[in-house]
Structure 1
């Protein structure tokens, strides 16, 4: 907790509560990361059993969000935190909301395995998996930045969302071409397009979490600022 430059309190219990809730976020993040990784496997191997486990596992992610939210609410009511402590709790509340939505996206990707007419070896799915692997790495880096509250690492995550958007746009062009060439494939292409959109949204969620990290450490809301202002905020001591 000290390395995050949090305030030290007369009440050791307060410190323990803050540390516990932060650890719970990391556990939730690890669960979501595993869900995403497994969803890609289910998609590429047409593993219906694994897909169903992922869909069922989303309930655990949802339950963790509710539990952490309730714990943060109790801390606010009981401790009335100020300054960096309050920023940490606000960052946590926003982070778990985005993690829950990433879990929803993993669930959507897993449902591709339920479409028995989709060939896992098709170029469409191979390219979706490639984009998914990009997102899996981005999510891992996001969680690592959160664990260390590392603003420079958060900034690098923030910048990567542009690469994800470019991959998504390229994939959409390919899918549109495929539909025009073979109208019979439209229902299946739309399923893949839905999954690609879910992946693109994961990039947005990771970018959001990077903004919460910078908000906690720097005390600045950097949503909707240009890249120059963001870089200056991150670099400022």
Structure 2
């Protein structure tokens, strides 16, 4: 993380604790990014071995969330942080919650693939494109988090509009597929769930960007449009 965005404390141990927990967040983020990327690959390739691996690895994401949350609780109790230090700890707690839920999406995609192995699936090209976009957004948000880069966070925040448009396009494709082959409806509903879950990943990445802004600028920009975010920070 860019150390210029961290306060310097008389206690070198406090600095080390903050750095340590931030590094843990990035480790968790990297694992979640890999899980999500693998889930998109498994969808495209109908790779059941990869799907099983995703499901099996979810416990690592959950364990990291618990570990980081406990460390943040300990820091609050022991150090009683204030001002930007408190904002940082709160941003971390909220970030790992969204990361864990993104990890849950990857796991559930893996489970859906295993439950529907060898069944006819609708075309998934558009969903793969949307999925890859959400993976890029997550990667870029984690990079912005590592540097606490507000401008980068704002740019990633804007990308969710493209995810929303791709999601709407997928819905139209799936509706057409169901009308052409009503027997496919049960399977299409599973794919529809996956598409909706990936659209929500975009929303969760937006949340991470908002936590970055909250820490650096002290402004809560949740439920705020991209245009209004700029005006609030000027």
Do they fold alike, i.e. is TM over 0.5?
A: yes
Q: Could you tell me how far apart the structure 2 residues matched to 1:58 and 1:33 are?
A: 12
Query: Match of 1:134?
Result: 133
SS at match of 1:28: helix
Q: Which runs of 5+ in 2 are unaligned?
A: none
1:48-197 alignment, distance < 5 Å: 48-114=48-114, 115-118=116-119, 124-197=123-196
1:43–1:112 Cα contact (<8 Å) kept: no
What's the counterpart of residue 21 of structure 1? 21
1:204 Cα offset (Å): 0.4
Distance 1:110 1:196 in 2: 13
Measured at CA, do residues 211 and 126 of structure 1 come closer, stay the same or move farther in structure 2, by a change above 3 Å? same
Contact 1:4–1:149 (Cα < 8 Å) also in 2: no
Distance between the aligned counterparts of 2:8 and 2:64, measured in 1? 27
What CA RMSD, in Å, does the superposition of the two structures yield over aligned residues? 1.5
Normalised by the length of structure 2, the TM-score is 0.95
Query: Residues 130 and 163 of structure 2 are in contact (CA less than 8 Å); yes or no, is this contact kept in structure 1?
Result: yes
Residues 4/175 of structure 1: CA separation in 2 closer, same or farther (3 Å cut): farther
Whole-Å Cα distance in 2 between the matches of residues 206 and 191 of structure 1?
A: 23
Counterpart contact for 1:45–1:113, Cα < 8 Å? no
Q: Which runs of 5+ in 1 are unaligned?
A: none
Deviation per residue, 1:89-112 (Å, 9 max, x gap): 000000000000000111122234
Alignment: residue pair count: 233
CA distance in 2, matches of 1:133, 1:70: 32
State the Cα deviation string for residues 20-70 of structure 1 (Å, max 9, x = none): 000000000000000011111222222212111101111110110011000
Task: Please give the alpha-carbon distance, in whole angstroms, between the structure 2 residues aligned to 1:206 and 1:88.
Answer: 17
| Deviation, structure 1 residue 206 | 0.2
Query: What TM-score do you get using the length of structure 1 for normalisation?
Result: 0.94
